[in-house]
Chain A
């Protein structure tokens, strides 16, 4: 049985890895050609650059070569793990820009995720306890509100209320722990509400199962039941949602970072497109895709390991 499990797992892993590589290649190719399709010039600024200087710059950066050559040249660089240098921030490697800014976005994202996960599970559990009572409806209404408020609105509201008017937290920027609270709360609002509703639905469903009735008849308290039996089962859909959740947190972080003046990756992504900073755009697109697909891959693995039904399904199919 051990051998069979090992083979199945390997088969699963190889399949997922293959899809990963294909998707990443597609992202690189599409981004590269789409990016060059947009009219505009990386070296255009407010002041006009003379023609000869512009030509020299294009030549320096290989932009006067045919597009397909530039593409292969870029791929060659990627094989050597070289993301190149930014056009606008000359002399600064793309990898350096990303490695300086990413830890900040990461910290923000992780904090928001933890708040969302913790808050969502607790909130969902509490809501499920009041199922079919008025408190449940109240909680659902509150969660619906959280879901419909867009990130920039919650961020601006929190900033206005808690930073501007009440002076409890800094208005913007990053540095101390208090700088992280408002942005991560604003970022966590939507995923928290989504997870709370998801958890609540699944917990209620599981609570109606036969084995729960058995546990209750054994005399276990509601909380003990929740903890011992329900949460593990209710956790599965939450884990499945982790992939899109992380994506949502990443995307939401751009807006949050802008409003709170946080020096994360978000600002680079937005400005690099307007600047036509090709290497930076490519580097960021690859980095994000790698991250997201990597996370999804991990989540798939966790789900695979957690749910015996999947493994069984594989062996039957």
Chain B
């Protein structure tokens, strides 16, 4: 018996010794990332549009006509040159010579097919609406018109002609997004060919996604990295431990938002980095839900608290003094949003009169919030300030993300806050959601003056006139308050000390293709 016991013990010791970790040297040609929010359902560029880590990934495996640089400006990438007519409606795009991973040439047809597939009424492209600035795109998606009438036409293998429905100064920025990527074969649900700086070397669902440098890429000499390994560890602390041990080189957005505990740990080590993004937190007010139908009541809610408390303690970023962050629309408004309890109470009294209510008969308001970081605290803060400042009773209701999202779109809520992000630096993109009724118009708001100005701006060619019209539209948003602007967003992250060369775009996705140690 003793022999058996001893040999068991010896075996155990040997096993432990054998599996001991050897210190691994950091390979400078390999970037290790972690998709903490889980694996991506698909590598199809249309599907990647809805995940920040998906858009980041697509910048590595696909090459659109343009690519965003460090200054946030679109630079020519898949295109050699782009000619625009003076009315801003027609774009002639000349392709650069670039190849798919199987060696075949990337043609204008590949782009045309990809975009038309997104606009097909039977395809599942969730953000097809981003292409609606193209002539007849919206009608084609709704099945009202043949795809042949869409303003996308390949003149030959190397030239694509695009006709817009209305001028858009930011079309070139949109071209850098994955929705505008070319598709080698539209029938493939999972693309097998890639034309970007990297290609897929191996993908085990839920486990890892490995990329390796694409030898057929036109700009391959600029690419320093040889491999990008993407893990899928979903536990926050485990991923952070791997980061501290140097097993992954990046933690935080765009791959995953950082929780408070980790932010403070990183702050101590002075390893925290930040980057401004064109995202804003807006608290939507359902204008169809009494008593929020009165603009005065909404204004009262808007002016009765200090946003700095939120940006100091709950969210990162800066308080918003107007609906759109300065990065998107920098024209000074006529007045800024500031805490003013006197004015707020005046507006409140006006609203009460309008609705034939008194402070006693004013019904309690309900704030619904989702489970992400900070939402609960913001809701509690608003509950506090509105109760103290205006004497309004506020109830809070947590909701699971999926339910919360559906309710926002169907108008089944009273007050709900959410982040809104812009895909390109055009204030129109965020504002036009409120110009039509639909699932994107969360406040269910209709304002004829606003709708008119937005339509004028959409069709305005002169950039100065356009921006002034948009500033006027913003003014209406400030006066009518379909939503309460809280703060602009800032992305917080950390990475390996030697990593450089990564580029953020305005929606917050990160281009790692030109990164190096």
Contacts and interface: CB of A to CB of B under 8 A. Distances in A.
A7 to B, nearest CB: 44
Given A47-B127, A48-B439, A271 B38 contact: yes
B19 A156 contact: no
A176 B19 contact: yes
B403 A40 contact: yes
A66 to B, nearest CB: 20
B232 A181 contact: no
Interface string A57-93: 1001000000000000000000000000010111110
B438 A274 contact: no
Given A51-B439, A167-B21, A267 B141 contact: no
Interface in B23-54: 23, 38, 41-42, 47, 49-51
Nearest to A265: B206
Contact of B205 (A52, A97, A174): A97
B189 A45 contact: no
Nearest to A152: B235
A49 to B, nearest CB: 5
B334 interface: no
B468 interface: no
A268 interface: yes
A282 B488 CA distance: 41
Contacts of A90: 41-42, 47, 124, 189
A91 B237 contact: no
A45 B126 contact: yes
B69 interface: no
A276 B402 contact: yes
B340 interface: no
Interface in A171-191: 171-174, 176-178, 181
Given A53-B125, A263-B204, A164 B241 contact: yes
Contacts of B18: 178
Contacts of B438: 50-51
B406 A40 contact: yes
A227 to B, nearest CB: 9
Interface string A264-292: 00011001001110000000000000000
Contacts of A307: none
B245 A164 contact: yes
A267 B125 contact: no
Contacts of B51: 46
A46 B405 CA distance: 8
Contacts of A168: 16, 19-21
Contacts of A274: 400-402
A59 to B, nearest CB: 10
Contacts of A177: 19
A53 B41 contact: no
B234 A261 contact: yes
Contacts of B23: 167
A39 B38 CA distance: 23
B129 interface: yes
A297 interface: no
Interface in A215-259: 223, 258-259
A126 to B, nearest CB: 10
Nearest to A163: B241
A296 interface: no
Given A91-B190, A164-B241, A53 B247 contact: no
B479 interface: no
Contacts of A223: 1
B222 interface: no
Contact of A171 (B142, B241, B440): B241
A169 to B, nearest CB: 7
B389 interface: no
B121 interface: yes
A263 B206 contact: yes
Nearest to B52: A46
Given A163-B241, A174-B207, A52 B141 contact: yes
A260 interface: yes
Nearest to A45: B50
Contacts of B16: 168, 181
Contacts of B38: 267, 271
CB-based closest 10 A-B pairs: A261-B233, A178-B19, A40-B402, A263-B207, A91-B189, A263-B206, A89-B41, A45-B50, A44-B405, A49-B126
Interface of A: 39-41, 43-54, 56-57, 60, 86, 88-92, 97, 100-101, 156, 159-160, 163-164, 167-174, 176-178, 181, 223, 258-261, 263, 267-268, 271, 274-276
Interface of B: 1, 16, 18-21, 23, 38, 41-42, 47, 49-51, 121-122, 124-129, 141-143, 189-190, 204-207, 231-235, 237-239, 241-242, 244-245, 247, 400-403, 405-406, 409, 438-440
22 contacts: A39-B403, A41-B406, A44-B409, A47-B127, A53-B141, A56-B124, A57-B124, A89-B42, A90-B124, A91-B189, A92-B205, A97-B205, A101-B205, A167-B21, A169-B19, A171-B245, A172-B239, A178-B18, A261-B235, A263-B204, A274-B400, A274-B401
